[in-house]
Amino acid sequence: MSMNNSPNVFLDPSPNRFQVNVINESHDNNATPQEDADPPHYEETSFTEEAHGRHRISHRPGNRALYENFIQNGDTVKSDGNLHPYDTHSNTYYLKTFGHNTVDAVPNIDYYRNTGSISGAKMNRPSLLEIHEQLAKVRCMLNIWGVMLFIRLSWIVGQAGIGLGVVIILLATTVTSITGLSTSAIATNGFVRGGLGIVVIMLSVVVTTLTGISMSAICTNGVVRGGGAYYLISRSLGPEFGGSIGLIFAFANAVAVAMYVVGFAETVVELLKSSGALMVDESNDIRIIGSITVVVLLGISVAGMEWEAKAQVILLVILLIAIANFFIGTVIPTSNEKKAKGFFNYQASIFAENFGPVFRGEGFFSVFAIFFPAATGILAGANISGDLEDPQAAIPKGTMLAILITSVAYLGVAICVAACVVRDATGNTNDTVVSGMNCNGSSACTLGYDFSSCKAQECRYGLMNNFQVMSMVSGFGPLITAGIFSATLSSALASLVSAPKVFQALCKDNIYKALHFFAKGYGKNNEPLRGYVLTFIIAMAFILIAELNTIAPIISNFFLASYALINFSCFHASYAKSPGWRPAFKYYNMWVSLFGAMLCCGVMFVINWWAALITYAIELFLYIYVTYKKPEVNWGSSAQALYYVNALDSALELTAVEDHVKNFRPQCIVLTGGPMTRPALLDITHSFTKNNGLCICCQVYTGPRKLCVKEMNSGMAKKQAWLTKNKRKAFYAAVAADSFRDGVKSLLQASGLGRMRPNTLVLGFKTDWRDASAVQIENYMGVIHDAFDFELGVVIVRISQGFDISQVLQVQEELEKLEQERLALEATIKDNEFEEESRGICGLFGKARKLNITKRVTKKDSSINTIQSMHVGEFNQRLLEASNQFKKKQGKGTIDVWWLFDDGGLTLLIPYILTMRKKWKDCKLRIFTGGKINRIEDEKLAMTSLLSKFRIKYADIKIIGNINMKPNKESWKFFEEMIEPHRLHESCKDLTTAEKLKRETPWKITDAELEAFKEKSYRQVRLNELLQAYSRAANLIVLSLPVAKKGVVSDHLYMAWLEILSKNLPPILLVRGNHKNVLTFYS
């Protein structure tokens, strides 16, 4: 440490700190202990050793003889009559005025008043400078054309009419289109891996279109692996949203399998019913056929993507033929039989009649809920993103074209069927109009048929009653049946493939550790066979419901929640303005995506408000669970980008706000080195900074610069990760420097940001100072001086066992490596045993090998045991326990605050904050301060008044009037023996020898210095006696840190003061603020 002084450094001493008055005393020299019970004895034990480095020594010039004329550095002036209180060990004189006319002032309420206070004049305490210085900071279409197209679309138009039916389709399409475009934008930001009836249709189209836009944006914003919607959302919004929606989306796809299979089974049962071949009854037949179908589909899926893709192509061809067959059938002249069933070819009267809604037991949004799953196929392509050759191009193009084509098909079918078929028909060819009958606007009546009986009883035909209307209308009925089979089976197959792949991707990310079992893939395509089985079980459970209208609304909300998040992902990524958001798909707008997200959420509630609440409750629960578990993933999500933007904005806003004493909080630089090597130092600091202030764990690398920088850079992420894993709300910072002091000086100046800058330096006491080199001591002391120079508070923490547990960690690391080797060896043995058993007749030879291996293992195990037993002797158990002492809840006890000098209140604020913490809440504050012996009660009342104004609760106040009494002989003798190796003893040598010793060992304590600071040395020794008497049983001691004038007090003498002051005590914090107010009693 550099201790440069000017030649005139001692010529202008600071004002007197004590006016000594000699008073006879009748009290005993030693204070009475606070408890009768013998408190614990604190021994100093440590096997740590500071690393030695090469440092440059800066000598302290100046004439030590100046100490002769500098009595106690202005600390004491002898009283009249030349009677000094320390002249003999037998006298009972003491200093009556401790701290009341010293440069280092005692706590005083007047220092905390505002300027212009009417209750008293504001006083200014001596600044830190005055005290410290010596006056000197393709699959989509198949999945969309599903069961709804052939089985429910006519019913939807019948319920909602043409107008609202179109709206329903368009609304669904718009939502999914926006989502599709958003997804495309995200995916193109890199490469991809892995009447009222019309209103209903239009609404679906709107939802689908908006979602498609968003999905297109997302898909084109980077490499997309397998996982579909889960992958897109999780990589955009992070694991919390992705993990929650991924589970819901996979489940929704599994339920969708049941919906499509039930639709297929309904058609088969209708055929069986028409031919009188029902097996049991309609519901049970649906269950039987559905179960058999899902088993067959599972077989195709398990066979691999090649078989599934071939099956989809065949089904698409059949589907296209069936749709064409329907449109052809609408223009083929109808027969009397079909007329009786309500089909009259295109008729304007039927179109007009069917344009408006006629809801029967349903409403607009309940009809929409049943139809909307028809539009959910837009994610079919994205869900197999891992199997696409170029998903970045395929997903946006395929999704948007599928939405366009299928929307046109849905609208065309809806309008055509509603223009050809009446709502109700009896199917009886004899129900013709009788002459003179009043039709009352009935289109069937004007066309010659009387279906009025349907008002009194339910009929079997017509849009409202017959789910097989398209088969009747088509040119060749069986083709529609084939189309239904194709649509339902292709959709079921797509969902059966999608659900396991999405679920596998979720499980691979290990967000839910309990589900990691399903992450395993099989074969060259990494098929999720376990996921297939799980999807099969879920689908079977819902197939047993056997009611399509019951199953459809269940998954509508799940799919809408997924679409809402896809849209929100696109909006959020755009809003965060991350430079990494560069989707190749440009046809999206973040506000349109936000509208799509809001539309999805709104539609969820109007479809079924309680189901929407349940969906969001499940999603919220999963979100909270993932957030709590904090999966170890980093995907560069837009949430991270927004956190940064918000943090930056907040930091900039904070910079514009002036500091105020009411908002002061300790913001600490903690010299922990690697945070895991001094956990106790970090823990005690974290106790008063957690959720309250800034905490930066700092490490200085010294040595060859290239090696230091390499080691520093490689360890930054690891050490910050250790803090996060151990739930320490702190930052890690490191510097490479030529010396420890230079590194800390850089940290003190450059750490922090704006108003979030450190104001307090926390470091551990250097327990090995007596054995350390002069350069190490110089660096340690230099750090303290630098902190004071930069106007930071200083906290020196000491515990009896020391802080450094690096050797313990090294032993543990070695044992862990040996344990890993042992486990690997055991695994090898098991593999060998398995191979030997599988060889059959060769097992005879294997036994001999097994014996040899066992012998080697036994030898290895014995060596491990030997190493373990060897290290057990070296393992410092008490050190390990001490390193964890601040992690434990502190029992009932006290925090003793020795507030001897007014430093602005930091010495009082830190223990107060500690008592607010859960681990320290059972500890009460006891306040100790110095005062006049003849004004003890007055001093106590003054301190009580100050603390009450600060609103700080305390258990007791103790005014110590005999701090300046001379210590006993044994204590002083120990101090003299401690500093003996570091003394120069120049007075015992001739002048030439003395000068030579000063030049060779300028760091040693001279006789002149020791004599000049003898009274201050007495005080530190005496304080230790008082601490032993009053606070030895305390949980924690907080004590005012003495300040050494820079360039006046030598390093070794100051270290000796700190040593004697804190020796054999409970954990102790030596605190000195920067002499600026950190407490106020003003509101």
pLDDT score, position 135: 42
Q: What are phi and psi of 743, to 5 degrees?
A: -65, -45
The larger pLDDT score, comparing residue 513 to residue 732, is at 732
pLDDT single digits (tens) 273-283:
878 878 888 88
Q: How much is the mean pLDDT over the chain?
A: 76
pLDDT score, position 184: 43
The set of long-range contacts for 620-628, using a CB threshold of 8 Å and a minimum separation of 24, is: 620/244, 621/244, 622/243, 622/244, 622/247, 622/248, 623/240, 623/241, 623/243, 623/244, 626/239, 626/240, 626/243, 626/244, 626/511, 626/512, 627/240
Amino acid making up residue 510: N
Spatial distance between the Cα atoms of 715 and 698, rounded to a whole number of angstroms: 12
The larger pLDDT score, comparing residue 892 to residue 225, is at 892
Spatial distance between the Cα atoms of 500 and 531, rounded to a whole number of angstroms: 4
pLDDT score, position 440: 67
The larger pLDDT score, comparing residue 923 to residue 105, is at 923
- The strand ranges marked E within 784-922 are 793-798, 893-898
pLDDT score, position 1022: 93
Q: How does residue 6 score in pLDDT terms, banded at 50, 70 and 90? A: very low
> Strand, helix or coil at 327?
helix
pLDDT single digits (tens) 936-963:
899 899 999 999 988 999 999 999 988 8
Q: What is the DSSP string of 867-906?
A: HHHHHHHH--HHHHHHHTTTTSPP-SEEEEEE--S-SSSH
pLDDT single digits (tens) 780-817:
999 999 999 999 999 999 998 888 888 788 877 788 88
Q: How does residue 779 score in pLDDT terms, banded at 50, 70 and 90? A: very high
pLDDT single digits (tens) 530-558:
888 999 999 898 888 877 667 666 677 88
pLDDT single digits (tens) 113-171:
776 666 677 778 777 777 776 543 344 544 445 545 555 565 566 666 676 666 666 66
pLDDT score, position 501: 85
Q: Is the pLDDT score of 970 beyond 60?
A: yes
Q: Is the pLDDT score of 433 beyond 80?
A: no
Distances (CA, A) of 527 to 505, 532, 534, 607, 688: 11, 9, 13, 36, 52
Q: How does residue 856 score in pLDDT terms, banded at 50, 70 and 90? A: very low
pLDDT score, position 1066: 92
**Residue reference for tokens 């030049």:** 999
pLDDT score, position 363: 76
pLDDT score, position 94: 41
* Residues 191-201, mean pLDDT to the nearest whole number: 51
Lowest-confidence pick of 21-30, 592-601, 796-805, 874-883: 21-30
Spatial distance between the Cα atoms of 817 and 790, rounded to a whole number of angstroms: 45
* Residues 710-719, mean pLDDT to the nearest whole number: 90
pLDDT score, position 725: 86
Tokens for 406? 């299928």
Q: Is the pLDDT score of 586 beyond 80?
A: no
Tokens for 103? 């440069």
> Strand, helix or coil at 204?
helix
> Strand, helix or coil at 955?
coil
Q: Is the pLDDT score of 989 beyond 50?
A: yes
pLDDT single digits (tens) 628-642:
887 877 777 777 888
The larger pLDDT score, comparing residue 339 to residue 859, is at 339
pLDDT score, position 548: 64
pLDDT score, position 89: 39
pLDDT score, position 378: 65
> Strand, helix or coil at 1069?
strand
pLDDT single digits (tens) 31-51:
444 444 455 556 554 433 333
Tokens for 569? 């992902």
* Residues 191-216, mean pLDDT to the nearest whole number: 63
pLDDT score, position 1065: 93
For the question of whether the overall pTM of this predicted structure is more than 0.85, the answer is: no
Q: Is the pLDDT score of 354 beyond 90?
A: no
Lowest-confidence pick of 378-382, 906-910, 1041-1045: 378-382
The larger pLDDT score, comparing residue 200 to residue 934, is at 934
* Residues 824-838, mean pLDDT to the nearest whole number: 68
Lowest-confidence pick of 579-588, 830-839, 880-889: 830-839
Spatial distance between the Cα atoms of 331 and 354, rounded to a whole number of angstroms: 19
pLDDT score, position 615: 85
Question: CB under 8 Å to 457, separation ≥6 — which residues?
Answer: none
Cβ contact 77:102 at 8 Å: no
Beta partners for residue 731, in sequence order: 696
pLDDT score, position 797: 95
Cβ contact 21:79 at 8 Å: yes
Share of the chain above pLDDT 90, in %: 19
pLDDT score, position 787: 94
Lowest-confidence pick of 55-69, 509-523, 736-750, 785-799: 55-69
* Residues 87-103, mean pLDDT to the nearest whole number: 45
Spatial distance between the Cα atoms of 546 and 264, rounded to a whole number of angstroms: 11
Q: How does residue 365 score in pLDDT terms, banded at 50, 70 and 90? A: confident
Beta partners for residue 449, in sequence order: 432
Tokens for 851? 């014996």
> How is the chain split among helix, strand and coil, in percent rounded to 5?
60, 5, 35
Q: Is the pLDDT score of 1002 beyond 50?
A: yes
pLDDT single digits (tens) 734-764:
999 999 999 999 999 999 888 889 999 999 9
Q: Is the pLDDT score of 261 beyond 50?
A: yes
Q: What is the DSSP string of 95-159?
A: -TTTTTTSSSPPP-GGGGPPTT-SSS----PPPHHHHHSS----HHHHHHSSHIIIIIHHHHHHH
Q: Is the pLDDT score of 819 beyond 70?
A: yes
The larger pLDDT score, comparing residue 710 to residue 306, is at 710
pLDDT score, position 495: 82
Q: Is the pLDDT score of 872 beyond 50?
A: no
Q: Is the pLDDT score of 352 beyond 60?
A: yes
pLDDT score, position 854: 43
